[in-house]
Amino acid sequence: MVMVVPLHCFSFRHCLRNHTTQLPLSSRSITTSTLCFHSPIIQAKLPFFTNSDSFQVGRPIGTYGFINITSYSAFPSGPGTDYSLEDLGGLKTQDVGEGNVKIRLYEGRVSRGPLSGTPVTFKVYPGRRAGGVMADALAANELNTHLFLQSSSKGIAEHLVLLVGGFETATGEQWLAFRDDGKYSVADYAKIVSERVSKNREVSSWNPFEQGLTIKRRQSFITKLFQGVMKGVAYLHDHDRLHQSLGPFSVVLNTISEKEGSYLIPRLRDLAFSVNVRYTELDDSGKLAEGLWRRATVAGAFTQMEKRAFGIADDIYEAGLLFAYLAFVPFCEAGVMDSLSLQRLLENTFQLDLEATREYCLADDKLVNAVEFLDLGNGAGWELLQTMLNADFRKRPTAEAVLNHRFLTGAVI
């Protein structure tokens, strides 16, 4: 599992044509080139720009990297425990470390062609020279995954970010340009809302009616948010692609105003770790998938059909952790809960026993609103969370089954 994180929290192989152009970068210019690729690129249905002259670059808006799994250790088994490794389907607790690929983000816009004036967000990989083989592989994988998906006969996915161009600079940096459909991630939303919870609880005169209305609006907003996430996951799986880095930072939102929930469109991004699980490609999925297949083997998935099922179930597990994050963090005061603490609580402390988790949370007044959210529909939220986080990967639902669960169909909220 890979988790994308902002750094303040802690192969794009091709040949260049002979001519070069100039790319404005704020007040500076850097020499760049148009490019053609060694491997065939599937043509996207929308205009796709590979010349740096087609863009203007604005101010930097952030940097981020990823947390990478560095080792695995099994849950305790044997005398004194209720679960064995076999019972857990090979599920592992994880030691994590910071990855060595640092990614920069810039504002920008398309300056030429039919999309002229369209705002974009540039995602800049350091390239092989500065970031090594891993940076090159991540950039290439993200580029090719988006172009494959955007060429689908089923149309462009509403819940995936849209890639509109890409190019490499003379210094080897790889720039991917995505249509700007929102500045905020799920992590940004949760942080802002939890800070608001803290502020409101400091005001003893906060109107109970207004408080109840706010909670109800938040429940609806988060439900729609997660529906959009799962629609994006379902689209990926329907096209034989895994996400493999799904988390609070890998979902971008066009609004974080809960009063504008009817206009909310969540979009998945960060497909650099995406894996092709088409049966004909499983044996040639490359280094980026080595950790996934290693875990699949430990879980008892040996045949191609079993490995593919494990990969899909692994995405569902990540989506389940994201659902837990959405159920807890926005309903708690700032600092009470974060994604890693919540994952440890679920996996290590309670070993994915959601009934025991609920009993624990009921005893903490700071978690009461999260419990009430998951309690809706006679515990429908806990039921959905339990099935997505099932220790046996064979028993986890598909993305479509998650979308059809009563917690997300409108029967509860």
CA of 268: how far to CAs of 18, 32, 306, in Å? Answer: 36, 29, 26
Whether 165 and 195 share a structural domain: no
Whether 257 and 121 share a structural domain: no
Closest CA to 59 of 11, 107, 116: 107
Q: Residue 80: its pLDDT value, please?
A: 40
Q: Residue 1: its pLDDT value, please?
A: 63
Query: Where does 37-88 have alpha helices with state H?
Result: none
Q: pLDDT digits over 348-397, tens only? A: 999 999 999 999 999 999 999 999 999 999 999 999 999 999 999 999 99
Q: Residue 288 falls within a domain, yes or no?
A: yes
Q: Where does a domain end: 130, 160, 179?
A: 179
Residues 6+ apart with CB under 8 A from 333: 194, 197, 198, 201, 366
Q: What is the mean pLDDT of residues 122-142?
A: 87
Cα four-point dihedral sign 113, 114, 117, 122: negative
Partners of 275 in beta bridges: 242
Q: Residue 49: its pLDDT value, please?
A: 79
Q: Residue 67: its pLDDT value, please?
A: 57
Asked if pLDDT for residue 92 goes beyond 50, the answer is no
| Mean pLDDT for all residues in the chain | 82
Q: Residue 30 falls within a domain, yes or no?
A: no
**Residue 81 burial (CB count, 10 A):** 11
For the chain, report the end-to-end CA distance as a whole number of angstroms: 31
Closest CA to 69 of 361, 290, 336, 339: 290
The whole domain housing 121 covers: 52-67+98-179
Q: Tell me which of 28-42, 119-133, 266-280 is least confident.
A: 28-42
Whether 222 and 296 share a structural domain: yes
Q: Residue 285 falls within a domain, yes or no?
A: yes
Whether 226 and 346 share a structural domain: yes
Check residue 145 and give left, alpha or beta (phi > 0: left; psi -120 to 50: alpha): alpha
Q: Where are the beta strands (DSSP E) in 161-227?
A: 163-169, 174-179, 184-185
| DSSP-assigned letters across all residues of 264-306 | --EEE---TT-EE--GGGGGG--GGGHHHHHHHHHTT--SHHH
Q: Residue 98: its pLDDT value, please?
A: 46
Q: Residue 33 falls within a domain, yes or no?
A: no
The CB-side HSE value for 168 (13 A sphere, CA atoms) comes to: 22
Q: Dmax of the chain from CA atoms? A: 69
304-328 helix and 186-201 helix, angle to the nearest 10 degrees:
30
Q: Residue 323: its pLDDT value, please?
A: 98
What distance in Å separates the CA atoms of residue 75 and residue 95, rounded to the nearest whole number?
13
Confidence of residue 101 (pLDDT cuts 50, 70, 90): confident
Q: Where does a domain end: 153, 179, 205?
A: 179
Q: Residue 298 falls within a domain, yes or no?
A: yes
Q: pLDDT digits over 7-52, tens only? A: 443 345 443 233 333 333 333 333 333 333 333 344 445 667 788 8
Higher pLDDT, 171 or 284: 171
**Which DSSP category does 66 fall into?**
E
**Residue 304 burial (CB count, 10 A):** 15
Backbone φ, ψ for residue 78 (5° rounding): 105, -160
Closest CA to 120 of 167, 183, 171: 183
Angle at CA of residue 168, ends 170 and 254, nearest 5°: 140
Whether 193 and 324 share a structural domain: yes
Higher pLDDT, 171 or 305: 305
Whether 150 and 226 share a structural domain: no
**Which DSSP category does 394 fall into?**
G
Q: What is the mean pLDDT of residues 98-122?
A: 88
What single-letter amino acid sits at 239?
Answer: H
CA of 154: how far to CAs of 148, 163, 215, in Å? Answer: 12, 17, 37
**Domain count across the chain:** 2
Q: List the CATH number of the domain containing 362.
A: 1.10.510.10
Whether 242 and 362 share a structural domain: yes
Q: List the CATH number of the domain containing 152.
A: 3.30.200.20
Higher pLDDT, 130 or 240: 240
Q: Tell me which of 43-47, 93-97, 323-327 is least confident.
A: 93-97
Q: Residue 88: its pLDDT value, please?
A: 36
**Residue 294 burial (CB count, 10 A):** 12
Closest CA to 328 of 315, 350, 343: 343
Q: Where does a domain end: 179, 210, 230?
A: 179
Whether 169 and 248 share a structural domain: no
Residues 6+ apart with CB under 8 A from 345: 357, 360
Whether 266 and 393 share a structural domain: yes
Confidence of residue 187 (pLDDT cuts 50, 70, 90): very high
Asked if pLDDT for residue 253 goes beyond 50, the answer is yes
Q: Residue 217: its pLDDT value, please?
A: 96
Q: Residue 199 falls within a domain, yes or no?
A: yes
Confidence of residue 68 (pLDDT cuts 50, 70, 90): low
Gyration radius (Cα) of the chain, Å = 22
What distance in Å separates the CA atoms of residue 177 and residue 165, rounded to the nearest whole number?
5
Whether 204 and 134 share a structural domain: no
Q: Residue 34 falls within a domain, yes or no?
A: no
Closest CA to 300 of 312, 291, 309: 309
Structure tokens at 191: 């942080």
Higher pLDDT, 78 or 201: 201
Is the CB of residue 99 less than 8 Å from the CB of residue 137? no
* pTM, to two decimals: 0.83
Angle at CA of residue 312, ends 306 and 315, nearest 5°: 140
**3-state SS assignment for residue 121:** strand
Q: Residue 89: its pLDDT value, please?
A: 39
Q: Tell me which of 41-50, 113-122, 179-188, 400-409 is least confident.
A: 41-50
Percent of the chain with pLDDT over 70: 79
Whether 344 and 383 share a structural domain: yes
Residues 6+ apart with CB under 8 A from 184: 252, 253, 256
Whether 151 and 211 share a structural domain: no
Q: Residue 153: its pLDDT value, please?
A: 86
Q: Residue 38 falls within a domain, yes or no?
A: no
